Structures are given as C-alpha cells and as structure tokens.
Structure 1
Amino acid sequence: MLDISLRVRVHVETLLATQNDMGVCDALGQYALAGKPDTMNAPHPPKVAGIDSTVPSPAHTVAPVASGTSPTVPPVPLAPPGAALQDRLAGWVSDLTTLHELTERLVRTPALDAALQELLRAGAALVGARRALVVIEPGDGLGPDTTIGLGLARADLGHIETVPRSALSYGRILDGLSTGEHGIAEPDLFAAEGLDPRHREVAARLGYAASYALPLSTETAGHLGAAVWLYDEPAEPSRRQRHLIGLYTRYAGEHLARLLELERTRASMATMSDELLPDRLPRVAGVQLAARRRTGPRGGGDWYDALPLPDAALGLAVGSVTGAGPSAVGAMGRLRASLRAYAVMEGEDPVAVLSDLELLLRLTEPARSATALFGYCEPAARKITLAGAGHSPPLLIGPRRTQFVETSVSAPLGMLACWEAPCVEILAEPGETVLLYTDGLLHRTGETTDRAFARLHAAAAGVPRTLRRDPGAIADHVLRSVLPDGLDAADGTEDVVLLAVRFE
C-alpha cells in the first residue's frame, strides 16, 4: 500500500473537484489550501443550504474523576481530509440548483406582468423579504411603463408613489442619481439620518423598516427599471444573498428585455389594426350599432365595417383574412377598403359586392383566402339583405326568439374560380338585434363547432331583459358568457369581432 502524504492527497482532491465542477474553478483556487494541511483538517462548522453556519462546536462532557487524579481528555477526532472543500462545494451546488430552478420558472412566463411577478417572488425568497415592488421605465422612453407590487395593494403602491423619488432607493436608480450596481441597502430606515419625513410616514403606515433595491438593465437594451424588496424589521441581505440576487436579476433583465420588445410589437400591431377599422360607427335613424373587437397577440385579419349608403341605407360587413401578423393586417385593410368601394357602387346586391371582392382577391393575392359577410340594411323596413362567403351565420336576438339566420353554404373567397351564392333576407321586429361575428368567437372556446354554436345560442338567449335595449351591453354579455375565465382577453390566440345591430 502506497503511503501518500496528506499534502499530495489535498492536491488530488482539489484537482478532481475542479474537473467535476468547472463553474467554480476560480473559487476553488481561493479555498484549496494545499500548503496548509493542518488548517484543512480543522473542524468546520456545518452548512445549511450553502450558507456557512456560525454555530460553535458543541462542548464535550468530561466524566468526573476522583480527587488527586489527572483528568483524561479524550482525543478529538480529526475531520476527514478535504472536508472544508466538500462543504463549500455542497454550498455552491445548492446555490446553483436554486438559481436553476428560479430561472426555469422565470423563462416559462409568457407575458411581462407574469414575469415581473415571478421576479418579485424569486427575489423575495433569495433576500428573505416578504414584500416588494418593481417599476419598469425603459431608458429609451418607448415604454411600456408599469409598476407591480408583491404583497402590496394598489393603495399601498399609491402611498409609496407620494414619496419624492429622490428619497427612495429605487427612485434614485430610476432617475440616474445612483447606479446601484451592487444594490442599495437601507438596513434601518428609522435609524437613518436625514430620512425624508414623507418616507418615514409611509414606511410607518405600511409597516416596513428596511429595503434593498437593485437596477434592472442589460448591455443591449440598457436601463429597464428597478426592483426593491421591503423588510418588516431592520435587516439587510448577506453577502451571499446579494451575490445570488445579483446573478438572478442579470438573467431576469435579459428575459424582461425580450418580453418588453414583444409587448411593444403587440401594441404596434393592435394600433395598426385599429387604425384600419372605423374609428366610430355611423348614426342612422332606426338602428343602434355597437362593435367589439379582441386582437390576438400576433395581430390578425378580422374586421368589421358599417357605412352609410344612398337612400338612408346602411352597409354592414364582417370578415376574416387567413394568416396572422403584419401581412394579414395589411391584407385586411386592402380588402375592407375594396369592399367599401363595391358597396357604394352596388350595395343593393350583396352577391355582386362579394363577387367583385372575390375577383379582386384572386387576382391580387392568389395565395390568400378570406371569409366575409355583407348585408344591405334598410332601417325603415327593418330588413337586411345578406350574402355570405364561408362565414358563420348571423344570430337574431329578440324578446320572443333567438335563432341563427339560415344562409346558403358557400366557399370562402379565393377558394373557387368563380364565387356565387344566393342571398337571404332578414326581417326583424322592433327591439330585435342582429349579431354578426367572426369565427374567432367560436374558436376561442376550444370546443367542437356544434358545442361552440350551442354555447353562443345559450349566451344570446340568456341576455337579461334589462340589457336588451343596448346593443353594446348585448355584445359584452355574449363575449363574457361564450368566453369565460379570461378567454375574452385582448391578447387571446384568435381575433374576435362582434357587430350588433338593434332595430328600434
């Protein structure tokens, strides 16, 4: 058996450790005390979750001895070689595991608000705080600007916002008065000299006594905002906690920058879509109009229109272009503008209007198809002459009946060499509402077509009597009933358009 000295064994253990965990090589160089074997063999306090404990070694109980005899002290067992290094490696592994779990949860957040909430929760766990808030104010000034709290109600955030920003640690970061690169700790607000009186008052009211603030930024996007964690008692994060939260926020900044860019893109798409739709609905005697629209995150091609026509008539249209994104939005704008022109020229014949639209679509955009519904409305006669191309049937809602209007089965525009389908007439009674909608209303339910139609019919039949005089209230009730639990949110996966026409 080879007799290897203790000094050599320590070198070998250090080498193996560094080979197995390359992420901590630099740190290993600081703690691999190869030249001091006695120091490494000294007893080391236990570690808890990667933190060096300061609990002293327990005292040994010595058995009583008779008078006049020398007590015999039992030998203290030596710690195994490399115990200190193994403890530190265990701490590093624990820290890395924690950061991995927290960043995995963060990267799964699909939206900015959800990511900010996850950032506050993870940071609170890392620094040992209970409440927090984050303020997003991108340095380029393009927004979006938002403030989100953890454990703080909206009124609490309002109280904090009454404090001068220069008196708040995160406010100084936002205003560029302090970089806060390693964080700004305020371990005891009430013992600090020169604390702003309003800040003292708000802190006493909300019950926090210390804070720790960090900037949120990236090298490419620059300044994004700042986060601050609030302690109920005087406290400040330890050196290890600061290191961990610093690593986490650096990663979080990159994720937030991507979500900010996505949020800006969605806002731009929604604005562009809204600009291509009517900014107001016309007022025509004998009818009331209301429209509701929900735009998907990528921007879609669903549209609606209502335009006055000669002889006190009204042209009504809803439709949907295939695809999503800027190209679909652009195609929707071109198609809607063309339909308006055809409606002015030959609106009395809805079939001719859609035939012209189909020819235009086939010649100018052969790779795209669309569904459409156009109606020539005569308010004085309470009549709508309707033609549809692959579109869902309208819904007639009244005090004594709720039914789908039977329309002919026809292909979408751009699917056939020559589109044509017969039109139908809707004769409404006073107080009845005709609801036009796009297929997104049915698709967002996630159910089969038959079940989605049944849900829509039940929602329309269940409109309270008090709401039936307002077409906007009817559309809102149908949206909430057909798409409950937030499925009617503006950032759903499908575009949704509703156009309600109530006859007086």
Structure 2
Amino acid sequence: MLDITLLVRVHVDALIAAQNDMGVCDAIRPNTPVGKPTAMSAPHLPKVAGIDPMVPVSTHTAAPLKAVPAAPGAFIQDRLAGWVSDLTTLHELTERLAGTSTLDTALHELLGAGAALVGARRGLLVLEPADGGGPSLTIGLGLAHAELGTIETVPRSATPYGRFLDGLPDTDTPMASPDILGDDSIDPRCREVAATLGYAAGYTLPLATRSSGRLGVAVWLYDEPAEPLERQCHLVGLYARYATEHLARLLELERARADAAIIAEELLPTRLPRVPGVQLAARHRTAPKGGGDWYDALALPDNALGLAVGSVSGSGPSALAAMGRLRAGLRAYAVMEGEDPVAVLSDLELLLRLTEPSCAATALYAYCEPERRTILLAGAGHTPPLIIGDRRTEFVETTISAPLGMLACWEAPSVEFTPAPGETVLLYTDGLLRRTGDPMDRAFARLHAAAAGVPKALRHDPGAVADHVLRTVLPEGLDRSDSTEDVVLLAAHFD
C-alpha cells in the first residue's frame, strides 16, 4: 500500500482583501505550497464482479507535498472575529437609525451611537444646514441645557466644530483634541469651560453630504485625556456616512411638514369674531403629514353666529387644497342661508360632488343666536357636540347621517338645543378620538370623562376648557410621528 502524504491548501486571499478594505488588519501573507512532487505509479480501478474496467485511466497524478503548510495563526482568527463584530455592530446601529422617522429622534440616535463607537460618555450635536433653510438646533448627550449654554459661550472660532460650521477652509475632516486642558494652543475660554464641566478631550466629526452640503457637526467628549483609536475612527466614519444621508432625507421631510403646517394655518381663520353673549376659543394641531381638519366661525346678521368644523379624507397637499375649497364654500353658503343649516350642508354636498368627486368629508354647521342662547345645527357624518356645565356634561343627540360625498343627495333633519348660562359647547373633529388609539366607544367615554373633569375655576374660559380636554384625552402629546390625524376643537362659552 502506498503512503500518500495529505495535501492541505488554505485559501485566505479573499479574507485578506476583505480585511484590508475594512482596515481591520495590516497584511496577511498567503501560504504557498512547498516541496517537489515525486513520481508515483498510476492507480488501477478495482475490478467489479470479476470484470476489468474498460475506461482508460490517465497515468499522470497530482504529486504530494513533502511539507504541509501551517494552518493560519490564531491572530488571523482574532482579527476575523473583530471584523465580524464590527460589521455586526454597524448593522445593528444603522438598523436602529433607519427605524427613526423624525429628525429629532434621528439626531439623538446618531449622537448616542457615535458615543458608543468612539468610547465617549458625553457629547453634543449641532444641526445647522449650510443652505440656511433650518431648522437649527443643538442637542446634548449627558449634558444639561445649562451646560450646553456654557459651551456656547466659547467663541465659535475657538472650537473645531465652530470653524466647520462657519465654513472655514481645512475644517471638513474629523479632528481629535486629546488633551484640551494641557494644550496651550487652545483658546483659554475653551479650556476654562472644559475644566468647569469636567471634560478633558474631544473628538469632532463633521456631518455633510455631497448633495446637501453641510448639515451640522457632532462632538464627543472624554472625561480624561484620550482620543479614539484608528479602528474606532474608521467605524464612526462609516456610520456617519450613512447617518448624514438619512438626516438629509429627514430634513427635507421636516421642511415639507413645516410648510404644510403653515399652509394649513393660513387656510384657517386668523382670528375669531366677537359676538355679544358668547366667548370663542379654538385649538388646531396638524398631523406630521398634514391632514384636512378645519374649523370656522363667522359673524352673521342680527348678532347671529355661524360655527363649523369638518374633516376631509386623506392627508398631504391634496387634502389641504380640498379643505380650503370646502371651507370657502361653507362660508359663502352660511352668509346666504346660514339660518338653515340643512340647506348649507346640502349646498356643500353639491359643491363637493362637482369639485372633489373622489373625496369624502364630514362637516357640522351650527347657527347660534347668543342673545336667545339657541343653537340650530346639522351634521354630515360628524361627531356630536359636547355640552359642558356645572350641572351636566353630555353629548348633543343628533340624527345619524352619511358623510358628504357618500350619497347622491344629502339631507338630514336639524337639531335645536339651548345651552344654559355658563355652559360651554365643544365642537371637535374625530381626530381627537382616533389619536387615542382606543375603539370609538372607549374614546367617547374618555372624552366625556375629560370634559366632566374640567375644574370649576376654568369653566368660564373656553380656551382653558379646550386645553384641559386636550391634555386629558391625549396625555402623551399631540405631535406623535406615527399619527395621520389632525385635531380641531372649537369651544363656545355662553354667558
């Protein structure tokens, strides 16, 4: 029997190229075969069932190696493990950043992730887009608002991040300040602030993209003299490259939302009318995507008052445009035949079918005579008003009707009621209920409980009543990033 030496071949070229690209290791020399081949006799295929094989066999075979190359060293495995760990960390951090949908949450996520990558405990991030379109803000990590104010007392030209934000030359690369207190070339005020706040070193990373230019700068602070390792700088640079692109997209989205909010406010009344015998207050909160909820109040002849709230389906610019046209139409119809709410909504139904055939909307219009304290209202698929007083808190019983645009011809009977002196009538859109996330019956119960819980000292002020209801029904805030619902409240307090 022939003694054949085992041939071991280790291919590490791909590993070396990948590690060199990532900057994880310096160099790894590939193993090469050694030794000279020796001649061997050609093997014969075994006989099967006593029959010789008919297939000819080549007489040339691969030669064995006299020496076996050594397996890769342990340092390669350590470097490979470190490389995999870095990739895993970057993947997790970028996944978390990609999950942010608002600019504020993305900025905080970037600041915290960068601190973990460079091994810092505190830091700050200044957002200041180069185009001047805003928004401009400063957030901190492990720094209170007063401490951020102390840092801002340092002249911008004396700080690396300030020079970058001012667009000075040769400031577009990361910069480490390993010993702020011991470096005499640093501005004295900068060293004084560092000693006051208890940090001794910093690492500054500009945030910029090719398309959007400068967005801002991040600074991480160390409690002791230190600077990040080359590997840490490389990792935070890779992370920041992705983060700045994500920030640029969110910045454009934030600006679009701000423009939509401004347009929505411009489409609503700039002030509420003053009519003897009644006090008015309105609250309007626009969803991040811009919804189509609206309200209106207009003085009518004979000291009468027209109140209206409504909601257009959808969100974004199309909903805002439809909302503006619908509100303008209702104002015209209210002036012509405001004492008949059914006629007003019937005309509005016709307008909607002619101008917005693919749109649906809800609306509620009330004709008020404050001197007599009477209200005549009609609703089209809208939520009923709520009466808030010392002796009662109850919903007004209205007839069930379909939203505008859902029927070929809309018509529903009106309802008349009389609020007592000192009572407040609250008109609202269903966004107030939907933002709670509860089923509608529970949302109505929450609204009723919030209205019943208005302190007596606040019930004479319609604005205070509306604010209390908002805070109680939506305790987590009104500007949730995942909400697509506007919120409108219109409160009328009768003397």
For residue 463 of structure 2, the aligned residue among 472, 480, 485 is: 472
Q: Are 1:84 and 2:75 an aligned pair?
A: yes
Which residue, 149, 155, 160 being the options, matches 2:146? 155
Closer, same or farther in 2 for the Cα pair 1:483/1:345, shift >3 Å? same
Contact 1:14 1:28 in 2 (8 A): no
Matched residue, 2:51: none
Q: How far is the alpha carbon of 1:30 from its aligned partner?
A: 5.4
1:365 aligned onto 2:361: no
CA distance in 1 between partners of 2:486 and 2:22 (Å): 53
Partner of 2:84: 93
Counterpart residue type for residue 484 of structure 2: T
Q: Secondary structure at the match of 1:189?
A: coil
Give the letter aligned to residue 476 of structure 1: D
Q: How does 1:443-482 map to 2 (within 5 A)?
A: 443-482=434-473
Gaps of 5+ in 1: 38-77
Q: Is 1:31 matched with 2:27?
A: yes
User: What's the secondary structure of 2:272's corresponding residue?
Assistant: coil
Q: Secondary structure at the match of 1:100?
A: helix
2:340 and 2:22 map into 1 onto residues whose CA distance is 80
- Per-residue CA deviations over 1:147-169 (Å, capped at 9, x if unaligned) read 11000111111111111111111
1:492 alignment partner, SS class: coil
Q: 2:400, 2:230 → 1: CA distance? A: 71
The match for 2:46 is none
The Cα shift of 1:208 comes to: 0.9
Deviation of 1:310 after TM superposition, in Å, equals 1.0
Structure-1 residue corresponding to 2:15: 17
Residue 233 of structure 2: aligned partner = 242
Matched, 1:145 2:141: no
Deviation at 1:36, TM superposition (A): 9.7
Alignment match of 2:400 (pick from 409, 423, 428): 409
Equivalent runs, 1:377-456 vs 2, <5 Å? 377-456=368-447
Secondary structure of residue in 2 paired with 1:332: helix
After TM superposition, the score normalised by the length of structure 2 is 0.88
Task: Give the Cα separation in 2 of the matches to 1:455 and 1:436.
Answer: 16
| CA 33–344 in structure 1, closer or farther in 2 if over 3 Å, else same | same
What are the residue-to-residue correspondences of 1:296-375 with 2, within 5 Å? Answer: 296-375=287-366
Q: Which runs of 4+ in 1 moved over 3 A?
A: 1-5, 15-18, 21-30, 34-37, 78-84, 178-182, 487-492
In structure 1, give the amino acid aligned to 2:287.
Answer: G
2:208 counterpart (207, 217, 233): 217
The amino acid across from 2:288 in the alignment is P
1:201 Cα offset (Å): 2.2
| 2:5 aligned residue | 2
Give the equivalent residue in structure 2 for 1:492.
483
Work out the CA distance in 2 between the residues paired with 1:133 and 1:240: 22
TM-score by length of 1: 0.87
Given that 1:180 and 1:213 are in contact with CA atoms closer than 8 Å, whether structure 2 keeps it comes out as: no
SS of the residue 1:191 aligns to: coil
| Offset, 1:25 | 5.7
One-letter code aligned to 2:260: M
Q: Is the 8 A contact 1:479 1:488 kept in 2?
A: no
Return the letter of the residue paired with 2:426. Answer: L
Number of positions where the alignment pairs a residue of Structure 1 with one of Structure 2 = 458
Q: What SS class does the counterpart of residue 313 from structure 2 fall into?
A: strand
Alignment of 1:263-274 (within 5 A): 263-274=254-265
Report how far residue 198 of structure 1 moved: 2.2
Say if 1:479 and 1:489 are closer, same or farther in 2 by CA, change over 3 A: farther
Secondary structure of the residue aligned to 1:373 is strand
Distance 1:406 1:29, change over 3 A: closer
Offset of residue 82 of structure 1? 3.8
Per-residue CA deviations over 1:371-424 (Å, capped at 9, x if unaligned) read 000011111111111111110000000011001001111111111111111111
State the 1:4 CA deviation. Answer: 5.1
Q: Is the 8 A contact 2:24 2:231 kept in 1?
A: no
Q: 1:86 to 1:491 in 2, by over 3 A?
A: closer
Flag the 1:194–1:4 CA change in 2: closer, same or farther, 3 A: same
Partners of 2:341 and 2:366 within 8 A in 1 = yes
Say if 1:127 and 1:237, in contact at 8 Å, map to a contact too: yes
Q: Which runs of 5+ in 2 are unaligned?
A: 34-68
1:256 matched to which residue of 2?
A: 247
Q: Of Structure 1 and Structure 2, which has the larger fraction of its residues in helix?
A: 1
In 2: Cα distance, 1:79 partner to 1:210 partner = 45
| Match of residue 103 from structure 1 | 94
Equivalent pair of 1:313/1:377 in contact (CA under 8 Å): yes
Query: What CA RMSD, in Å, does the superposition of the two structures yield over aligned residues?
Result: 2.2
Q: Deviations over 1:51-100 (max 9, x none)?
A: xxxxxxxxxxxxxxxxxxxxxxxxxxx98534333322222111111111
Asked whether the 8 Å contact 2:130–2:214 carries over to 1, the reply is: yes
Contact conserved, 2:118 with 2:233, CA < 8 A, in 1? Answer: yes
Instruction: Tell me the CA shift for residue 303 of structure 1.
Output: 0.1
1:503 matched to 2:491: no
Paired residues for 1:161-176 under 5 Å: 161-176=152-167
Gap change, CA 1:25 and 1:482, over 3 Å in 2: closer
Cα distance change, pair 283–296 in 1 and its aligned pair in 2 (3 A) = same
Q: Is the 8 A contact 1:294 1:490 kept in 2?
A: no
* C-alpha distance after superposition, 1:209-264 (max 9, x if no partner): 11110110111111100000011111111111111111111111011111111111
> Counterpart of 2:271 in structure 1: which amino acid?
R
Q: Give, in whole Å, the separation in 2 of the partners of 1:134 and 1:26.
A: 27
Residues 434-468 of structure 1: CA deviation (Å, up to 9, x unaligned)? 00000111111111111111111111001011111
Q: Is the CA contact 1:131–1:152 (under 8 Å) kept in the aligned structure 2?
A: yes
2:120 pairs with 1:129: yes
Equivalents in 1 of 2:124, 2:368: separation in Å?
54
AA aligned to 1:347 is G
CA distance in 2, matches of 1:81, 1:128: 31
> What's the CA shift string for 1:278-336, capped at 9, x where partnerless?
11111221111111111111111100000111111111000001111100100000000
Displacement of 1:490 in angstroms is 8.4
Equivalent position SS for 1:223: strand
Quote how far apart the aligned CAs of 1:426 are. Answer: 2.1
Change beyond 3 A, Cα 1:491–1:163: farther
CA contact (8 A) 1:182 1:246 kept: no
Distance 1:488 1:107 in 2: 20
- Please state how far the C-alpha of 1:367 moved relative to its aligned partner: 1.1
The whole-number CA distance in structure 2 between the counterparts of 1:408 and 1:35 is 87
Kept in 2, the 8 Å contact 1:302–1:319? The answer is yes
